[in-house]
Amino acid sequence: MNQLVLVVNSGSSSIKYQLVDVGTGDALAGGLVERIGEGGEGSLRHDGPAGRTERTQPVPDHEAGVRAVLDLFEEVGPSLTAGGLTAVGHRVVQGGDRFTEPVLVDDQVEAAIADLSPLAPLHNPPNLAGIRAARHAFPDLPHVAVFDTAFHHTLPDAARTYAIDREVARAHGIRRYGFHGTSHAYVARRTAELLGKDPADVNLIVAHLGNGASITAVRGGESVETSMGLTPLEGLVMGTRSGDVDPAVIFHLQRVAGMSTDDIDALLNRRSGMLGLAGANDLRDIHDAIEAGDGDARLALDVYCHRLKHYIGAYYAILGTVDAIAFTAGVGENDDVVRELSLAGLDRLGITVDPDRNAGRKKADTVVSPDGAEVTVLVVPTNEELEIARQAVAVASA
Ligand code: AMP
C-alpha cells in the first residue's frame, strides 16, 4: 500500500515541502514558497508530474503559504485531497531535553515547541507557524514533529556539557544539543547498510557539509559527539557561519568595535564563514575565484578543510576505531577537492582516498577509498525528507 507523507520544512520566510511515497522512497512532488511575509510578492515553485510550475502572488504569512501550496497540488497535481495522504511530517529544529523522539503533534506539543523558542529563536517560531497552518489545513491527519536535535540525545554528558558555571547552565538550558540529526541518522544507517553491517556493529564519522555544516561521531548507531552545540553556530566553517571562535571575540567586538549583540549575531551567523572570508558562500564560486588567482578564496578553502580535518582527527580519537567516513549534503556530495584535502595525510590512520573514485560529483552512494582500505570513505547523498517521512509513518501508525 502507498504511504504518502507531506513533509514540511517551514523557515522564517520560506516553506519547503515534498510529497514522499514511503513505500518506494520516491518524491512524487516538491517545491518551495519564498519571501513569505516580506511585503511584496511571494514566489512559488512546484515540481510535480506535470513538470515545473512557477508563480508569484502575495503570501502575507505561513497560513497563506500553506494554502498556496495546497492550491498548487490541487491545480497541477498530484491531488492531496483525493485520499492516500497518511501523515504530515514537520521538521522542527530544537527539541531540547523534552523531545528525544518524533512525536504526534497536539496542542501540548505545540506549546512545548513554543516554550523551546528561546533556544532557537530563528527556527522554532517559523517551524511552529508551519505546523499550525498545516494542522488547520489538514485537521484530520496525524501531524508528526521530527526534531533536528533528537538523534543527538545520546550524547554522553562529557560531550554535551560546556565547562561553565553549572547553575547558570542549568537555569538556562545551556548545553550542547547538536543539529542536522535527521540527516546524520539517515546517512549513518545507510552507510552501515552499504558496509553490509548492523548499525550496532560499526563506528562512523558522518560529515554533513551543506550551506550549514556539522560532523558527528556515531558509535553503534548512536551519536556520541557532534560539532554543533547550543545552536547551529558552533563547529565547522559554514557558508555564512563562523563555526568555532574564541568566545572572547564577542566581548572584544562589543568593547572595542562598539558592536551590539544583534550586530555580532548577524556577523557570526550571516556574514562569516566562506562568505566572510572570501565574499561567496557557495563552494563553486570559491573554486572559480581560486582559479582566477584570488588569495582570499584560497585561504577560505584551506581554513574550511583544516577545520574539517581537525574534527575528523578528534572524532577518530573519540571513537578509537573507525569503520567508515561518510560525506553528505551539497558540499560533501559534490566537492571532490574538499573530500581530498580534508583527508590528505591521514594514511597512518588508515584513511585514504582513491583519486579516480573520488573525482567529480556523486549523485548516488559511492565508495571513494581504495579496495581494502582500513577505513571506508564514502559519499552518501542525504535524504532528510525521506527520513522525516519514514519517522512520521512510524509514529502515525504506532
Ligand atoms: P545544501 O545546504 O546541502 O543544499 O548545500 C548547498 C551548498 O552545496 C552550496 O552552497 C555549495 O557550497 C555546495 N555545492 C552545491 N553544488 C556544488 C558543486 N557542484 N560543487 C561544490 N559545491 C557545491
Ligand 1 lined by 300 (C-beta under 6 Å):
no
H or E stretch including 256? helix 248-256
pLDDT at residue 7 is higher than 80: yes
pLDDT single digits (tens) 289-344: 999 999 999 999 999 999 999 999 999 999 999 999 999 999 999 999 999 999 99
pLDDT of residue 90: 98
Task: Check pocket membership of 334 for ligand 1, CB cut-off 6 A.
Answer: yes
Whole-prediction pTM value?
0.96
pLDDT for the residue 341: 98
202: Cα separation from own chain's centroid: 22
CA–CA distance, 187 with 229 (Å, rounded to integer): 20
Distance 288 CA to ligand 1 centre (A): 14
> Does 365 qualify as catalytic in the annotation?
no
Q: Is the pLDDT of residue 380 over 80?
A: yes
pLDDT per residue over 71-90, tens digit each?
999 999 899 887 789 999 99
Could you tell which of 240, 305, 331 is best to mutate to test the pocket of ligand 1, judged by most ligand atoms within 8 Å of the CB?
A: 331
Report pLDDT for 131.
97
Q: How far is the CA of 209 from the centre of ligand 1 (A)?
A: 8
CA of 210 to the centre of ligand 1 (A): 6
CB 146 within 8 A of CB 91: yes
Share of the chain above pLDDT 70, in %: 100
Q: 176 near 226, Cβ under 8 Å?
A: yes
Q: Looking at the predicted structure, is the pLDDT value of residue 224 above 70?
A: yes
What confidence tens digit (pLDDT) does each residue in 146-157 have? Answer: 999 999 999 999
Question: For ligand 1, what atom is nearest to the CA of residue 335?
Answer: 21
What's the mean pLDDT when you consider all of the chain?
96
Q: Once rounded to an integer, what is the mean pLDDT over residues 31-45?
A: 93
CATH hierarchy code of domain 196-384 = 3.30.420.40
> Which 3 state secondary structure label does DSSP give 306?
helix
Of ligand 1's atoms, which has the minimum distance to the CA of residue 283? 12
Q: Once rounded to an integer, what is the mean pLDDT over residues 368-390? A: 97
Q: Give the pLDDT band of residue 122 (cuts 50, 70, 90).
A: confident
Does 32 score more than 70 pLDDT?
Answer: yes
Q: How confident is the model at residue 2 (pLDDT cuts 50, 70, 90)?
A: confident
Mean pLDDT value across residues 157-172: 97
284 lines ligand 1 (CB under 6 A): yes
Phi and psi based region of residue 276 (left: phi greater than 0; alpha: psi -120 to 50; beta: remaining): alpha
Distance from the alpha carbon of residue 138 to the mean position of ligand 1, in angstroms: 34
Q: Is 342 in contact with 305 (CB distance < 8 Å)? A: yes
* Concatenated DSSP letters of 163-215: SS-HHHHHHHT-S-----HHHHHHHHHHHHHHHTS-GGG-EEEEEEESSSEEE
Percentage of residues of the chain with pLDDT beyond 90: 94
**For residue 91, what is the enclosing H or E element?**
strand 85-92
CATH topology of domain 4-147: Nucleotidyltransferase; domain 5 (3.30.420)
What is the per-residue pLDDT for 121?
Answer: 87
**Which cell numbers hold the place of 82?**
483525493
Ligand 1 close to Cβ of residue 239 (< 6 A):
yes
Distance CA 335, CA 207 (A): 13
**Which mutation among 335, 341, 358 tests ligand 1's pocket best, with the greatest number of atoms within 8 A of CB?**
335
Segments of the chain assigned to CATH 3.30.420.40: 4-147, 196-384
Q: Which of the pair, 39 or 51, is modelled with greater confidence?
A: 51
- The strand pairing partners of 378, in sequence order, are 326, 367
Which cell numbers in the block locate residue 232?
547551529
CA distances from 2 to 21, 25, 197, 236 (A): 6, 10, 29, 39
CB contact set of 290 (below 8 Å; sequence gap of 6+): 297, 298, 301
Classify residue 358 by burial, with Cβ atoms within 10 Å: 0-12, 13-18, 19+: buried
Q: Is 232 in the pocket of ligand 1 (CB under 6 A)?
A: no
Q: Quick check: 39 pLDDT over 90?
A: no
- pLDDT for 1 equals 61
Whether residue 211 has its Cβ less than 6 Å from ligand 1 = yes
CB 91 within 8 A of CB 388: yes
Residue 317's Cβ-side half-sphere holds a number of Cα atoms within 13 Å equal to 6
What is residue 83's predicted lDDT score, i.e. its pLDDT? Answer: 72
Given the residues 148, 323, 335, 336, the one annotated as active site: 148
